[in-house]
Structure 1
């Protein structure tokens, strides 16, 4: 398509939306946009308002995912879908997720202002409930859109309210019954591709001093969110070591052994992360002079390799059995959850890189250790790409520090790719 030289991303438009999101969903320190809660809904309503001002059509599926469409010259062609999520972790940063939705709007806005209407329609998607700390379900909104969310998921309680996913959907006037029967709103076979822009959640782009990165693959995971070690309470001075069933020492053994296994995995050339994000004893029962009879923890293991995940899981079970025998305790790991790794589309990544080179934008390629909705689309057979934007202070914290100049580079690359007519 001719005329792409006229494309220009309006960074002031994006900054206004980010500022409004921060003001309206602020929850010091940081912001909170709970899945199927007030903050997330505020963000969705803002995007509808902006889409209407641009003349886009909007639809909402039974799970509450939002679709803002700029119709192409040939609506019969398979459309592009671009976007991300609008929910956040509690007291998180303002850019995680929201940058991808706003980048999609900025790209479409640039096309409209340049008088460009691509052949393919472009849908900016605002995805519900990506952050699984609210509901312990990976990629809730995107799986629902593709008809992949199990019906029993609707009974899952939200972490802060205790109300079910079904109840939260119903409160917003959505249709959980249609979600429960696996109704497909997006057919993977009818999509040309999916592209998500997202702030990088680590230091790679900052260290490389480049504004954007193109992701090669997304790690999968296994998780135990409510594991417990059951021992025996006792007097700290009266119970000798050989008679103790100390849950905290058992937990320390587990942490040390898994750290050793992690090192072996890395030395073997594989990639993985192992995290104990929460550990503790019951404050209603523990005490200064008590041998702890119970300890709780959550475990998050990630790797781009399914075989590596299973190797670590087998190692976990072997370690647990050894600690139970040595310490006289019992492990109750609880329910296992997780997500599948995803390899992203090489051809689409190469086209994005070619656009970046044409713009003179510095970039690198990297893997994502964090999960993203892009993985759901990729594993469903949709050509999918994930573009990282440089961020100086990580994510899931109030100090996310994406520069608007870097955001503009990423949105410009997106707009120029979408404008092309040679991407059939």
Structure 2
């Protein structure tokens, strides 16, 4: 009965979130905007109805606390973000906050008292599409943002600064300017982030949930260039060409071969050459292409794999220069380190799944999450993925409530050992 009530609560919150932020064909919850504001209000009301202690910090982080036996102990924290991409789905981020509320509701109904507080967090501004800063909300709560961020970051849709949007929502940009923090990594026993899976792995495996092994780190090159020479397509023989397209094609083939070998060795890796283009002002069907722009996105939960791919890029650049007369330049490098999830928490989730009779698998997270901020600060961190059809960041997100309920069963069975 208690489980049914908790799942029903979740259904009602999801329905309210959708109605409050509907933006056909999906939902929109802009960071420090109307949709996110409504989502926080809905979760606050649900938390108060459960009887949780509710407060917001100066950057808008919503804390909803179920008291434990010893309130002087560092709490277990569970949550995620409540903003959403434009015309996106209703579950990305929100599922983690609602899962925390449902877990608190179940514990309260069953009269289970944890040895320490359980804090459900509604985090601000995770989606980078609104402000160009990774994990803005969680980093702001930990005091990790540059002091100038409120005045230099502008929201992509409005062009107005973070400070202006924060002030409009009733929050304090000086909190960031002064590098203050509301969360202390030394005073968090564990952080759990339930989240919909954003790819097809669980759907293809036929499983309702997965325990995340780690969040893949990434090396990204947004401004790659292959620079050869423009020439006449009919007049220049093969050995005289400095063909930039063929150089990039050769690079793509080398990366694909490396990926195949890495998979065969059981190494975690995904590679994407997301943009490849010649200059429309210069290219033509009768011209040997002299310059190609490209991007590279390299991800792995193993830092050594990322290093090996970067070494391969250097080798390919040298080969392209010597063999083709083409300069391969990757441009500025953006690096985000991998975050391995805590072994003790993963074991507790696995034991909880077995106790609840919920079949799960282990998998890496290819996307970044607020959990990366917590793990990067040394907080024991775990993630639980929930099956979700049709991917994420689109209106077709389709997490089934039966899968949500199964994941909730896992957490409810694991929370005792996690809080111990």
TM-score range, shorter chain: 0.7 to 0.9
Is the Cα–Cα contact under 8 Å of residues 137 and 337 in structure 1 kept in the other structure?
A: no
1:356–1:337 CA distance, 2 compared to 1 (3 A): same
Displacement of 1:334 after TM fit? 4.0
Give runs of aligned pairs for residues 116-127 of structure 1, distance below 5 A.
Answer: 116-127=112-123
Is the Cα–Cα contact under 8 Å of residues 320 and 328 in structure 2 kept in the other structure?
A: no
Cα distance in 1 for partners of 2:418, 2:316 equals: 55
1:247–1:190 CA distance, 2 compared to 1 (3 A): same
Segment drifting more, 383-392 vs 325-334: 325-334
Q: 1:104 aligns with which of 97, 100, 105?
A: 100
Q: 2:143 aligns with which of 144, 147, 150?
A: 147
Displacement of 1:330 after TM fit? 5.0
Displacement of 1:211 after TM fit? 1.7
Partner in structure 1 of residue 352 of structure 2: 355
Aligned length: 419
Q: Secondary structure at the match of 1:31?
A: strand
Q: Can you give the 5+ residue segments of structure 1 that lack an aligned partner in the other structure?
A: none
Q: Can you give the 5+ residue segments of structure 2 that lack an aligned partner in the other structure?
A: none
Displacement of 1:180 after TM fit? 4.2
Cα distance in 2 for partners of 1:28, 1:235 equals: 49
Give runs of aligned pairs for residues 198-209 of structure 1, distance below 5 A.
Answer: 198-209=195-206
Segment drifting more, 237-246 vs 206-215: 237-246
1:392–1:421 CA distance, 2 compared to 1 (3 A): closer
Q: How big is each residue's C-alpha offset from its partner over 1:111-135, in whole Å with a ceiling of 9 and x where there is no partner?
A: 2333444342211112223333444
Task: State the TM-score, normalizing by the size of structure 2.
Answer: 0.85
Q: Secondary structure at the match of 1:297?
A: strand
Partner in structure 1 of residue 252 of structure 2: 255
Displacement of 1:272 after TM fit? 0.7
Is 1:25 aligned to 2:24, yes or no?
Answer: no
Displacement of 1:103 after TM fit? 0.7
Segment drifting more, 26-35 vs 241-250: 241-250
Task: State the TM-score, normalizing by the size of structure 1.
Answer: 0.85
Partner in structure 1 of residue 219 of structure 2: 222
Cα distance in 2 for partners of 1:178, 1:188 equals: 18
Is 1:278 aligned to 2:275, yes or no?
Answer: yes
Is 1:176 aligned to 2:168, yes or no?
Answer: no
1:76–1:64 CA distance, 2 compared to 1 (3 A): same
Query: In angstroms, what is the RMSD of aligned CA positions?
Result: 3.2
Is the Cα–Cα contact under 8 Å of residues 228 and 295 in structure 1 kept in the other structure?
A: yes
1:352–1:249 CA distance, 2 compared to 1 (3 A): same
1:314–1:422 CA distance, 2 compared to 1 (3 A): closer
Partner in structure 2 of residue 408 of structure 1: 405
Partner in structure 2 of residue 387 of structure 1: 384
1:139–1:314 CA distance, 2 compared to 1 (3 A): farther
Partner in structure 2 of residue 213 of structure 1: 210
